[in-house]
Amino acid sequence: MKKELWKGNEAIAEAAIRAGCKAYFGYPITPQNEIPEYMSKRMPESGGVFVQAESEVAAINMLYGASAAGVRAMTSSSSPGISLKQEGISYMVGADLPGVVVNMMRGGPGLGTIQPSQSDYFQATRSPGHGDGHMIALAPASIQEAVDLMWDAFEMTDKYRTLVMILADGMIGQMMEPIVWRHEQPVPEVDKPWAADGRDGDGKTHFVTSLRLQSPANEQFNLSLEEKYEIIQRDEVRYEEKGCKDADIIICAFGTTARIVSTAIRMLKEEGINAGLFRPITVWPYPSQQLKELASQDSVKAVLTVEMNLGQMHEDVRLAVGERKPTPFYGRTGGMVPEPRHIADRVREILREVSK
């Protein structure tokens, strides 16, 4: 397979098209502008639909419509724009609609900054919109992984009729890395008998809606979501662990932060400190069971969370590890990116504290 040099945003857009995405609706916001720009040319070229919507609100509702009509479609934005999309996302959860949403996280809150951050973790994993409900959230750590995950994303979204979010950050969107195109074929199409794309032969109509005014029926629907999520939690957890076996300390990180942590781990190794990396790829469903097992090893003295926020994945780590081991935190936020040497400093500090 030939290596090609691609910019993250453009690679993600190209991957979506090759994976079978037929429509893109989006709006400019830094640091993901290259996605709508690339899509504006490449989508029509590939026979698909591109619309620059008037806002992120309009874009998510266009996605809702296309998805309701059974079309494979996506949108992208960055943190403030994802907030705007939350109503539409909740509607899609409430109507069991597939779709892919890319979030190139930037420093917040509010208008914040355009530099990378990971501070939308809660938003992505706790509740994508109002009400009970989840989306599958995938956190690539490299452009190659982001590209490969597009096939997973479109497959899972159609399989489970559940939104999939690609939770990336500005670094992934803006940097250039060599990648290979592992997939030659798009994700196979699935039958969508529920779609509002015309009556069935016997005149039966389809009504795509999230309105269930009778509370018992609405509760039933929410329970059906829960059933769906139990299957997803059972079958779709993805993670990577490196050197966690017999490690002195496990460092949990996702996305690009994991790569910075890897550098810190190499630095620590030279001093004889065995640090393992635990990297969730699905941040929802979270690989809690796997983390719990690794953290339970006798050798492990602490489980450190490193992320670009004030401590969001940290809560999932604490839930998984419980009282078994100390669960400290190190983070930078507001668009600042952690440095390997500071992570290494924090690890040394933790190991000193726990040995007291």
Partner 1 sequence: MTQTQVVYERSKGLKDVETHYCPGCHHGIIHKLIAEVLVEMNLLDTAVGISPVGCSVLAGDYINCDFVQAAHGRAPAVATGIKRTRPDLTVFTYQGDGDLASIGAGEIVHATMRGERFTTIFINNAIYGMTGGQMAPTTLVGQKATTAQGGRDPLQHGQPMRMSEMLSTLDGMAYCERVCVADVPHLTKAKRAVKKAFTLQQQGIGHTFIEFLSTCPTNWGMSAVDAGKWVKSHMTQVYPLGVIKDITAKEST
Beta bridge partners of 136: 164
**Token code pair at residue 185:** 């074929």
Tokens 């309105």 belong to 211
Judged by CB under 8 A, the residue of 61, 78, 123, 312 near partner 1 is 61
268/348 Cα distance (integer angstroms)? 9
129/94 Cα distance (integer angstroms)? 10
CB of 85 to partner 1, least distance (A): 11
88 binds partner 1 (CB under 8 A): yes
Q: Total binding residues for partner 1 by CB under 8 A? A: 38
Judged by CB under 8 A, the residue of 9, 32, 67, 162 near partner 1 is 67
**Token code pair at residue 222:** 């929410």
Residues 23-42 that bind partner 1 (CB under 8 A): 23, 25
- Considering beta carbons, is residue 23 or 295 the nearer one to partner 1? 23
**CA 90 to the chain's CA centroid:** 16
- Considering beta carbons, is residue 24 or 254 the nearer one to partner 1? 24
71 binds partner 1 (CB under 8 A): yes
82 binds partner 1 (CB under 8 A): no
Stretch that binds partner 1, among 17-25, 145-153, 299-307, 314-322 (CB under 8 A): 17-25
What is the DSSP annotation of 127-161? -SSSSS---EEE--SSHHHHHHHHHHHHHHHHHHT
Judged by CB under 8 A, the residue of 209, 220, 224, 296 near partner 1 is 209
- Considering beta carbons, is residue 203 or 216 the nearer one to partner 1? 203
- Considering beta carbons, is residue 205 or 215 the nearer one to partner 1? 205
- Residue 163 CB contacts under 8 Å (≥ 6 apart), including other chains: 89, 92, 93, 97, 98, 99, 100, 101, 128, 135, 136, 157
255/143 Cα distance (integer angstroms)? 10
CB 29 within 8 A of CB 78: yes
Q: What's the residue count for the chain? A: 356
CB of 212 to partner 1, least distance (A): 11
Half-sphere CA count of 264, side-chain side, radius 13 A: 27
**Token code pair at residue 197:** 């794309």
CB of 28 to partner 1, least distance (A): 14
CB 174 within 8 A of CB 20: no
154 binds partner 1 (CB under 8 A): no
CB of 154 to partner 1, least distance (A): 15
87 binds partner 1 (CB under 8 A): yes
Judged by CB under 8 A, the residue of 4, 54, 293, 353 near partner 1 is 54
Which residues of this protein are in contact with partner 1, per CB under 8 A? Answer: 22-23, 25, 49, 51, 53-55, 57-59, 61-69, 71, 73, 87-88, 91, 95, 196-199, 203, 205-211
